[in-house]
């Protein structure tokens, strides 16, 4: 559905009895708040009758391959972030319509009902990890989904025929203002050596975009009686996980090879 300067995403259930209209599928995290998820659901009252229409916003964190999901053990954690009864609407919780909702309801008629969700500020951004060669199924990462379905209660298991699932994303933009240059200092003591080996490393800036070179400045003060032979730097990707044994897992994505010789 398009209008000048306006794009509306539309998706219907397999039986065509409910249809979700959404103004956008990317919602920006502004640190202090997240863009609200607003739209309308068009329902067929003859089909819904005495039942209700609910909406959920779900986030899923997948930290393992789908083909490893066996014996009831899944490498996936689902989270309900927001839930709302869309039809019939509760008059106590009725909020003013957004401009998009006003225009959609005016066009679609009295069987269109608004919904409005606010994501918690602490929830993670959408992330997709590049799968390894040969991997099948959904990639690891965090994904979001907007779901609307017909049921008696919001805890009912939705039927595929009368539910709508729409993939959405929670995104963050890199800050336009650079922070302080990252730097770190470490010292190493050696047995039978009266003094330490001191190393100081710093980067030329805090934020890097894809394809940019990373300039590392390294200063070494070797006051020990040991000899430094080579210097090598690494760029590591850290992957936190809800699985405790994976808390410190990391992957090297770039390195200086061969190492720099200090001799």
Q: Per residue in 233-261, pLDDT tens?
A: 899 877 665 554 555 667 788 888 777 77
Q: Indicate whether 52 pLDDT > 80.
A: yes
Q: What is the pLDDT of residue 86?
A: 94
The reply to whether 17 and 130 lie within a common domain is yes
Same domain? 146 vs 187: no
CATH code of 37's domain: 2.60.40.840
Residue 178 lies in a domain: no
29 and 159 both lie in a single domain: yes
Same-domain pairing of 120 and 216 = no
Determine the pLDDT at residue 2.
Answer: 45
215-234 per-position pLDDT tens digit: 999 999 999 988 888 888 89
Lowest mean pLDDT, pick from 109-113, 134-138, 152-156: 134-138
Same domain membership, residue 148 and residue 194: no
Q: Would residue 177 count as lying in a domain?
A: no
Domain count, the chain: 2
Other beta carbons within 10 Å of 105: 18
Residue 53 has a pLDDT of: 96
Chain mean pLDDT for the chain: 86
DSSP state of 67: G
pTM above 0.75, yes or no: no
Domain-ending residue, one of 171, 203, 237: 171
Residue 244 belongs to domain spanning: 183-261
Lowest mean pLDDT among 53-62, 73-82, 165-174: 73-82
244 and 124 share a domain?
Answer: no
138 shares a domain with 70: yes
Specify whether 165 is located in the same domain as 41. Answer: yes
Query: Distance between CA 210 and CA 94 in Å, rounded?
Result: 44
- 176 within some domain: no
Whether residue 48 is contained in a domain is answered as yes
Q: Examine the domain organization and report whether 152 and 24 are in the same domain.
A: yes
Last residue of a domain, one of 171, 200, 235: 171
Compare 5 and 234 and report the one with higher pLDDT.
234
Q: Which of 122, 145, 171 is the last residue in one of the domains?
A: 171
Rounded to whole angstroms, the Cα distance separating 45 from 47 reads 5
pLDDT above 70 coverage of the chain, percent: 89
Max CA pair span of the chain: 87
Angle at 42 between CA 125 and CA 102, to 5 degrees: 75
- Answer yes or no: do 109 and 25 share one domain: yes
Alpha-carbon torsion (43, 47, 49, 54), positive or negative: negative
Q: Are residues 36 and 141 in the same domain?
A: yes
Q: For the residues 186-210, what does the mean pLDDT come to?
A: 90
Task: Kindly state whether residues 201 and 147 are assigned to the same domain.
Answer: no
The answer, yes or no, to whether residue 92 has pLDDT greater than 80, is no
| Domain annotation covers residue 216 | yes
Say whether pLDDT at 180 is over 60: yes
Burial class (CB in 10 A: 0-12, 13-18, 19+), 113: buried
């Amino acid at each position: 559905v398009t209008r000048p300067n306006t794009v509306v995403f539309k998706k219907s259930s397999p039986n065509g009895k409910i249809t979700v209209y959404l103004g956008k599928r990317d919602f920006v995290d502004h640190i202090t708040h997240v863009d609200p998820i607003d739209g309308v659901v068009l329902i067929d009252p003859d089909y819904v009758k005495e039942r209700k229409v609910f909406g959920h916003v779900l986030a899923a964190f997948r930290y393992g391959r789908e083909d490893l999901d066996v014996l009831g053990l899944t490498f996936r954690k689902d989270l309900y972030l927001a839930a709302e009864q869309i039809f019939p609407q509760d008059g106590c919780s009725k909020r003013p319509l957004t401009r998009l909702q006003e225009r959609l309801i005016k066009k679609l008629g009295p069987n269109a009902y608004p919904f409005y969700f606010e994501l918690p500020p602490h929830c993670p951004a959408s992330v997709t990890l590049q799968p390894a060669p040969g991997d099948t199924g959904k990639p690891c990462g965090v994904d979001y989904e907007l779901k609307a379905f017909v049921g008696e209660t919001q805890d009912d298991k939705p039927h595929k025929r009368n539910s709508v699932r729409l993939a959405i994303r929670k995104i963050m933009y890199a800050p336009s203002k650079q922070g302080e240059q990252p730097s770190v200092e470490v010292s190493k003591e050696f047995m039978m050596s009266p003094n330490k080996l001191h190393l100081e490393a710093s980067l030329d800036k805090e934020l890097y975009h894809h394809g940019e070179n990373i300039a590392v400045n390294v200063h070494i003060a070797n006051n020990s009686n040991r000899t430094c032979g080579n210097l090598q730097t690494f760029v590591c990707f850290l992957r936190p996980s809800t699985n405790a044994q994976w808390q410190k897992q990391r992957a090297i994505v770039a390195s200086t090879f061969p190492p720099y010789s200090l001799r």
